[in-house]
Chains A and B, each alone.
Chain A
Amino acid sequence: MVRFLAERIASAVLTVLGASILAFLVLRALPTDPARLIAGPFAKEDVLAEVRAQMGLNKPLVMQYVDYITSFLSGDWGFSYGAGKPVLPLIAERLPASAELALFSFVIALVAAVAFAVLVSYSRSRILDGILRAVSFVSVGVPPFWIALLLLMLFFETLGWFPGPVGRGPAPQHAITGFYTIDHLLAGNVSGALNALWHLALPGIALALGSFGYLVRLLRANLLDVVHEPFVTVLHSKGVPPVTTHFRHILPNAFLPTLTAAGMILAQLIGGSVLVEQIFTWPGIGTLVIDGVTRQDYAVVQAFILLSALIYIVVNLAVDLLYGYVDPRVRRS
């Protein structure tokens, strides 16, 4: 177990290092003048010179990289000319919105995938299986930004059942976690929490669809594998009823290999909600980045790129460790 932990953490650290180098290179060592990228296309020559000095662009590349890393680690993520604020607090204040959306989507996708896959597996119906496969293909192939559009057109504009692209809804009184749902509940404001959920619904579903399609297919395959394992026959011979067999034995065994994939999906959701946020005017880091891109405020973009990689690596590490804890074969070795 300890060895497992050590290996995973070491690997993650190395990957972080590699990712940081890549993020550094992409925006610094490419043909476009980095100073111009950061200062904007309208900056004058003296501003550019100042930025270059500030960024230490006259130093050797390796030194620049070291500066980059040290300033990142010490919290200096640059200054956003567009927003007039340093980047770190800017991102920090918008991160919870994205995190809440990502987590919400993840939960819906996972729950729906488990429910559907278990239903199909338990029923052993070939028709349902076919439906599952069709649904999975459609879900995975749908571009999230397009489905977001469709959802808005149908459920907001035509039917009026859900709020439009207006973002999260009213903020709770005290921002403790930054998650509207939780903060409202903590303040005892149930209708506020429900309202927050109502606002989360459409963007959440748009994001969740792709993950759902992938997870349901994976889970179904894993369930199928487990169903054919010898120990299931042994369970039957003990007289264990089918429902118990399925939920107590088959599902946990099938879920383990799905766990790592699920983690990867969660990690991608946080960084990948960029377009959906844009469409729903969600005040998260996605819209922040898009604004940064369009306004050529590249300090924000640069920080965001490294941050997404970091989040991805950290979440995957967390899931790996969780897996190591949950699977008795790893825990007790």
Chain B
Amino acid sequence: MTRAIARTLRDPEMLLGVSILALLVLVACVGPFVWRVDPLKVSVLDSLLPPSWKHPMGTDDVGRDVFARFIWGAQVSMGVALAVTIVGTLIGGLLGLIAGLLGGWVDLTLSRIMDAILAFPPLILAMAVAIGLGAGMVSAMIGVVLAAIPWYFRLLRGEVMRLRGMMYVESARALGASNMRLIRLHILPQTTSTILMQASSVFSFSIVTMAALGFVGLGIQPPVPEWGTMITEGLAYALTGQWWLGVFPGLGIFALAVAGNLIADRLRDIFDPKAGVGG
């Protein structure tokens, strides 16, 4: 653990990614206590004010403080992205594990299903699910999870098949190890690193996709502030000079997405320099 921290500190990209993430987490967690402004407080008199000391990110069309909403939005976005990532990992990973271990027609069927899911542009898929289940946070999350599952599935299935072919697994099996034991002792430790890698990418993906869904009104519903819906509001005012409404939430999404990608990339370089787009 300490070695990981030391390595992080020496690597500028990783450091940047982790710093951004840490900063935003800090803002999300500590923000409400430091910036004691009610994000829901409407005040028509104060509407559409540009950024100032009183309102660091300005106010929106009904006078709500954008910075307060930003903080809350940070909590929402990151919390949701985290939840989605974890659920996606568990389900996708589990399915991949099963497919890899059992092989045969279980593998074939599952793989085909995953291929079908992958045929849809992720945003479209999430939209479809959100529509089908009725717009709202949970449906949006389910949609994003569904879009993310095939990535984990492929990853874990690939790892399991690769490891199955390796000598030490063969010998363990020959000694009578059951599947469960194999999973616990041999496969999981090896795959944790790849899972972490993918998790960061999926995290970025969730952030952007949830925001996109919010943007079209399918995701988290107002008045809960979510960076995506805030950008939609910003759209209406973008061309009339009130730039702060759209720029700041987008900046938040952008920062999180970049952080997630940076971390994913560095993790990939550390754990498997040969895979994917190495530096």
Chain A interface (Cβ < 8 Å from any Cβ of B): 14-19, 21-23, 26-27, 30-32, 37, 133, 137-138, 140-143, 145-146, 149-150, 152-153, 156-157, 164-165, 217-218, 221, 268, 271-272, 274-275, 278-279, 289-290, 293-294, 298, 301, 304-305, 308-309, 312-313
Tell me the bound Cα distance from A212 to B246 in angstroms. Answer: 24
Minimum CB–CB distance from B29 to chain A (whole Å) comes to 22
> Once the chains bind, are A305 and B128 in contact (CB under 8 Å)?
yes
B124 adjacent to A308 (CB under 8 Å): yes
Cβ contacts under 8 Å, A165 to chain B:
239
Chain B neighbourhood of A18, CB < 8 A: 112-113, 115-116, 119
Q: Is the CB of A143 within 8 A of B216?
A: no
Shortest C-beta distance, B217 to chain A (Å), equals 7
A274 with B217: CB separation less than 8 A: no
The distance from the CB of B85 to the nearest CB of chain A, in whole angstroms, is 16
Is the C-beta of B247 less than 8 angstroms from some C-beta in chain A? yes
Instruction: Tell me the complex Cα distance, A150–B128, Å.
Output: 28
Q: Are B253 and A149 neighbours in the complex by a CB distance under 8 Å? A: no
Indicate if B131 sits at the interface (CB-CB under 8 A): yes
Interface of B is mostly: helix
Measured in the bound complex, the distance between the Cα atoms of B234 and A309 in whole Å is: 31
**Contact at B121–A268, with CB atoms within 8 Å?**
yes
Interface size on B (CB < 8 Å)?
A: 48
Q: Which residues of A contact B250 (CB under 8 A)?
A: 143, 146, 149-150
Q: Which residues of A contact B239 (CB under 8 A)?
A: 152-153, 156-157, 164-165
What B residues does A289 contact at CB under 8 A? Answer: 127
Tell me the nearest residue of chain B to A142, going by C-beta: B254
A221 to B262, CA, bound (A): 16
Candidates B119, B132, B235; contact of A32 at CB < 8 Å: B132
Given contacts A26-B132, A149-B235, contact A275 B119 (CB under 8 A): no
Cα-based distance from A206 to B6 in the complex (angstroms): 38
B133 at the interface (CB under 8 A from A): yes
4 new A-B pairs (CB below 8 Å) besides A157-B239, A293-B131, A308-B120?
A27-B132, A145-B215, A301-B127, A305-B120
Q: Are A305 and B238 neighbours in the complex by a CB distance under 8 Å?
A: no
Are B216 and A157 touching (Cβ within 8 A)? no
Give the distance in Å from the alpha carbon of A26 to the alpha carbon of B65 in the complex: 39
B residues less than 8 Å from A290 (CB atoms): 216
Contacts of A141 in B (CB 8 A): 204, 254, 257-258, 260-261
